[in-house]
């Protein structure tokens, strides 16, 4: 690699990977606006998030294998192109179902480009420069994740939610120009064979379970479609485990889980990131639909959480050397759990600085204490030859956790909202006709609007009932997220080994 190529390679990988990082934060801020514009239910909004997460989670490990086999630059570029085309389709979507399909296509593109960014850095920089290059990539990626919600919120407020997707187009164009003019092609030294059976079973399995859980709120638990989807999903996931255990080139080598530390770290990841994904899915809905924030303010409201993580990340990276893995991985999730619990405190019309800011700051501290030691534990738990695969598996676990948490926890959230809404309407001064019309639209939750024929007083009563009911459901979500964080801490204590402080890397267990 020429000495002058380094900055361009970093720019190409940062711009490309930032597409997925920005999309993950901006879309949540855009959900209330697109829900109102497209007349979508909460189930529809779930699918806008879950369609992307489903394909991303199921194909993430396949994306890395494709790069090793067919060329990392080629697959990275194809992922960017597919992601960008899907972003344009999202911005042009005439209805919510078109948007959901385009989001699924985005997930396929993300699964191809995300593994490629770090793989290109590893292949393009010598070992002596690689650590600094990855650090630069991490820092700029964190900056894009921090700026994404505020910038996306401003675009949503001033130009409409569709521009949250169009924002990806110029970034992708710049990344592709840099990629083809300055980044050399590379392949894996011993490229693995692909695992199409594993990829198909993972997609069908996760898809069936997620479809059954999400659609149960719309179709009801008596629907044959719900039970058929759940059964198909569970059977497919069982077959996936068998295929991966017996396959010659599995995308998920189960032998890695013989390491107790690796298993513990991934169980922690599943619990903690499941709670985080659900909380960050529901929080923008609460801020915009209940607290009355604009999209810009809602995006900016998340900045303390991200900035605290950025500021503390370097310090947190040394915790495992000074104290071993167990202390930060017990304390960090407990602090994060306190942050989730604090999010349950604000009611309707809560002040940001006394209601949401403390919770987000504490949550940021807890995640900062956890993330770097958790990543280090994953990498140290296996032989160095498996480090890249171990990192990819941990990333896939975090994505799958979010996918399933949103599908599972939204069910009681909707049930609590509906039950509280019934109770509030029973006390409200509204006619039976108005109450029936409101109940018929209960699946819209915070986006529910009073019926057109309601009087001014009835409209005010309905709005109060909807906001109060949404807060009740939101509080369940945040407390459930707190419970998952405490479960992560409880997993770390008995399963993680007592590492020796002082920078000594524990010897990985053979797999």
**Residue 485, domain member (yes or no):** yes
Residue 24 dihedral angles phi and psi, to the nearest 5°: -65, -30
Q: Which of 183, 213, 248 is the last residue of a domain?
A: 248
68's tokens? 């090793």
Buried b / exposed e over 125-163, threshold 16 CB at 10 Å, is beeeeeeebbebbbebbbbbbbbbbbbbbbbbbeebbbb
Q: Are residues 282 and 401 in the same domain?
A: yes
The C-alpha atoms of residue 354 and residue 331 are separated, in whole angstroms, by 24
Q: Are residues 200 and 188 in the same domain?
A: no
Q: Which of 171, 193, 215 is the last residue of a domain?
A: 193
Q: Are residues 231 and 262 in the same domain?
A: no
Q: Are residues 386 and 482 in the same domain?
A: yes
Q: Are residues 159 and 200 in the same domain?
A: no
The per-residue pLDDT for range 185-201, each reduced to its tens digit, is 877 655 567 788 888 99
Q: Are residues 185 and 234 in the same domain?
A: no
Q: Which of 227, 248, 269 is the last residue of a domain?
A: 248
Q: What is the pLDDT of residue 505?
A: 47
pTM of the model: 0.86
Counting as low any pLDDT under 50, the low residues of the chain are 501-511
Residue 59 has, within 13 A of its CA and on its CB side, a CA count of: 24
Q: Are residues 39 and 136 in the same domain?
A: yes
Residue 36 has, within 13 A of its CA and on its CB side, a CA count of: 15
User: What is 151-194 written as a DSSP string?
Assistant: HHHHHHHHH-TTHHHHTHHHHHHHHHHHHHHH------TTPPPP
The per-residue pLDDT for range 258-282, each reduced to its tens digit, is 888 889 999 999 999 999 999 999 9
**Residue 318, domain member (yes or no):** yes
Q: Are residues 155 and 269 in the same domain?
A: no
Q: Are residues 115 and 204 in the same domain?
A: no
Q: Are residues 63 and 184 in the same domain?
A: yes
**Residue 411, domain member (yes or no):** no
Q: Are residues 241 and 321 in the same domain?
A: no
Q: What is the pLDDT of residue 135?
A: 65
**Residue 410, domain member (yes or no):** no
The percent of the chain in helix, strand and coil, each rounded to the nearest 5, is 85, 0, 15
**Residue 413, domain member (yes or no):** no
Q: What is the pLDDT of residue 387?
A: 65
Domain that residue 423 falls in: 419-470
**Nearest of 411, 412, 466, 410 to residue 435 by alpha carbon:** 466
**Residue 84, domain member (yes or no):** yes
Q: Are residues 56 and 164 in the same domain?
A: yes
Q: Number of structural domains, the chain?
A: 4
Q: What is the pLDDT of residue 472?
A: 95
Q: CATH code at 82?
A: 1.20.1250.20
**Residue 306, domain member (yes or no):** yes
Give the DSSP H or E segment for 361. helix 357-380
Q: What is the pLDDT of residue 498?
A: 66
**Residue 130, domain member (yes or no):** yes
């Amino acid at each position: 690699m020429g000495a002058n190529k380094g900055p361009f390679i970093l720019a190409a990988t940062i711009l490309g990977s930032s597409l997925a990082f920005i999309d993950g934060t901006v879309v949540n801020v855009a959900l209330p606006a697109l829900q109102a514009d497209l007349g979508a239910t909460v189930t529809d909004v779930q699918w806008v998030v879950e369609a992307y997460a489903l394909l991303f989670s199921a194909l993430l490990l396949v994306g890395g294998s494709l790069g090793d086999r067919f060329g990392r630059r080629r697959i990275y570029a194809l992922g960017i192109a597919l992601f960008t085309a899907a972003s344009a389709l999202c911005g042009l979507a005439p209805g919510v179902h078109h948007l959901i399909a385009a989001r699924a296509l985005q997930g396929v593109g993300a699964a191809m480009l995300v593994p490629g960014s770090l793989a290109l850095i590893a292949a393009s920089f010598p070992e002596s420069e690689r650590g600094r290059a990855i650090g630069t990539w991490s820092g700029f990626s964190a900056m894009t994740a921090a700026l994404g919600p505020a910038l996306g919120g401003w675009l949503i407020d001033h130009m409409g939610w569709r521009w949250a997707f169009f924002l990806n187009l110029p970034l992708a164009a710049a990344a592709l120009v840099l990629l083809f003019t300055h980044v050399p092609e590379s392949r894996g030294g011993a490229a693995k064979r692909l695992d199409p059976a594993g990829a198909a079973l993972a997609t069908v399995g996760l898809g069936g379970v997620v479809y059954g859980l999400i659609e149960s709120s719309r179709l009801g638990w008596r629907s044959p479609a719900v039970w058929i989807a759940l059964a198909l999903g569970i059977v497919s996931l069982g077959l996936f485990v068998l295929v991966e255990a017996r396959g010659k080139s599995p995308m998920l080598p189960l032998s890695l889980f013989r390491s107790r530390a690796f298993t513990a770290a991934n169980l922690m990841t599943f619990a903690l990131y499941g709670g985080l994904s659900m909380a960050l899915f529901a929080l923008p809905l609460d801020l915009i639909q209940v607290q009355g924030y604009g999209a810009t303010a809602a995006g900016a409201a998340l900045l303390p959480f991200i900035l605290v993580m950025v500021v503390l990340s370097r310090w947190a990276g040394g915790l495992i050397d000074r104290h071993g893995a167990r202390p930060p991985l017990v304390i960090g999730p407990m602090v994060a759990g306190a942050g989730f619990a604090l999010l349950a405190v604000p009611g309707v019309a809560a002040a940001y600085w006394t209601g949401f800011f403390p919770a987000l700051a504490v949550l940021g501290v807890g995640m900062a204490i956890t993330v770097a030691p958790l990543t280090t534990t994953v990498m140290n738990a296996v032989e160095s030859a498996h480090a890249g695969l171990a990192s990819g598996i941990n990333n896939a676990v975090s994505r799958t956790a979010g996918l399933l948490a949103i599908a599972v926890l939204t069910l009681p959230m909707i049930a609590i909202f509906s039950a509280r809404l019934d109770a509030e309407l029973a006390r409200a001064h509204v006619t039976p006709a108005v109450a029936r019309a409101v109940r018929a639209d209960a699946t819209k939750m915070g986006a529910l609007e009073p019926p057109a024929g309601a009087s001014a007083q009835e409209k005010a009563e309905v709005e109060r009932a909807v906001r109060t009911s949404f807060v009740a459901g939101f509080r369940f979500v945040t407390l459930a997220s707190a419970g998952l964080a405490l479960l992560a801490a409880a997993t770390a204590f008995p399963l993680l080994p007592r590492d020796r402080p002082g920078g000594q890397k524990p010897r990985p267990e053979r797999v």
